Amino acid sequence: MPEDLVQKHFDKEAENFDSIYTGQKNAFSRFLDKKLRWDMERRFSRTIEECGDVTGKTIIDVGCGSGRFMEALQDKDPKLILGVDFAPTMLEIAKEILFKKKPDSPCRFAVGDYNDLSFKQPFNITIGIGLFDYIAKPLPMLKKMRQTTDGKLIATFPRRGTLRAGIRKIRLSLHKCPVFFFSPDEVTDMLKKAGFTDVKQEIFGQLIFITAM
């Protein structure tokens, strides 16, 4: 199953992945991140911006990884932030970061495949950043997000046909981790099929950044 390969990859690479945020890597890797991954910084700031005033709101971060978006949001008085990820090591790092900084954190966690989880209440905001890169067919997940969000979806999709897409495909295939790319039209089409009506897209770097309601 491709999901098992993705889960294994991120469980093994969790520390390494989080070093993109901490900068705890050698000077050459930091230089490459600055040059090639500037769009990750932008997706971070745009996501926090798009969340707006989260006071009293409920948020789900699907594929939350090491919890860096949750970290930025937890001080803004949300009612709940649920981080979901199927890589347990990622969630261990996230818990360490979030509860160390804020012992009474509103963050909670669910370990497992988002597709297999059920929720009693819809969330005001659903975040899916750097998630669809690893989903071959996003439509069922987007439909679930539509059903379980009563406010806004904020997500990114990696853009097909960029030079970096080719390089990433090769690099991740060496780690036996599948990765998928999409065109802007395909993304709009999937969001509409999932039931979202108000869809906005921005393209920067290798990313398609979307908000949808």
Ligand X SMILES: C[S@@+](CC[C@H](N)C(=O)[O-])C[C@H]1O[C@@H](n2cnc3c(N)ncnc32)[C@H](O)[C@@H]1O
- Please state, in angstroms and rounded to a whole number, the distance separating the CA atoms of residues 115 and 144: 8
Here the tokens at position 185 are 């039209």
Backbone angles phi, psi at 60, to 5 degrees: -120, 130
Q: Is 78 in the site for ligand X (CB under 6 A)?
A: no
> 104 vs 139, which CB is nearer to ligand X?
139
- Part in contact with ligand X (CB under 6 A); list of ranges 48-56, 78-86, 175-183, 191-199: 78-86
In the region spanning residues 131 to 160, those forming contacts with ligand X, defined by CB under 6 A, are 131, 134
Q: Considering the complex, what minimum distance in angstroms separates the CB of residue 21 from ligand X?
A: 7
Q: Is 129 in the site for ligand X (CB under 6 A)?
A: yes
> 22 vs 183, which CB is nearer to ligand X?
22
User: By three-state DSSP, how is residue 212 classified?
Assistant: strand
Q: Is 130 in the site for ligand X (CB under 6 A)?
A: yes
- Please state, in angstroms and rounded to a whole number, the distance separating the CA atoms of residues 10 and 209: 22
Q: Is 6 in the site for ligand X (CB under 6 A)?
A: yes
Specify the pairing of strand 80-85 against strand 58-62. Answer: parallel
- Which listed residue (51, 54, 64, 73) binds ligand X by CB under 6 A? 64
> 45 vs 56, which CB is nearer to ligand X?
45
Residues 85-114: x where in contact with ligand X by CB under 6 A, - otherwise, as a string? xxx--x----------------------xx
11 CB contacts (<8 Å, ≥6 apart)?
Answer: 87, 88, 89, 90
In the region spanning residues 176 to 195, those forming contacts with ligand X, defined by CB under 6 A, are none
> 39 vs 187, which CB is nearer to ligand X?
39
> 63 vs 106, which CB is nearer to ligand X?
63
Q: Considering the complex, what minimum distance in angstroms separates the CB of residue 35 from ligand X?
A: 19
- Please state, in angstroms and rounded to a whole number, the distance separating the CA atoms of residues 29 and 34: 9
> Distances in Å between the alpha carbon of 18 and those of 112, 136, 213?
19, 24, 30
User: By three-state DSSP, how is residue 59 classified?
Assistant: strand
Using an 8 Å Cβ cutoff, are 90 and 65 in contact? yes
- Please state, in angstroms and rounded to a whole number, the distance separating the CA atoms of residues 49 and 16: 26
**Where along the sequence are the contacts to ligand X (CB under 6 A)?**
3, 6-7, 10, 63-65, 68, 84-87, 90, 113-115, 129-131, 134
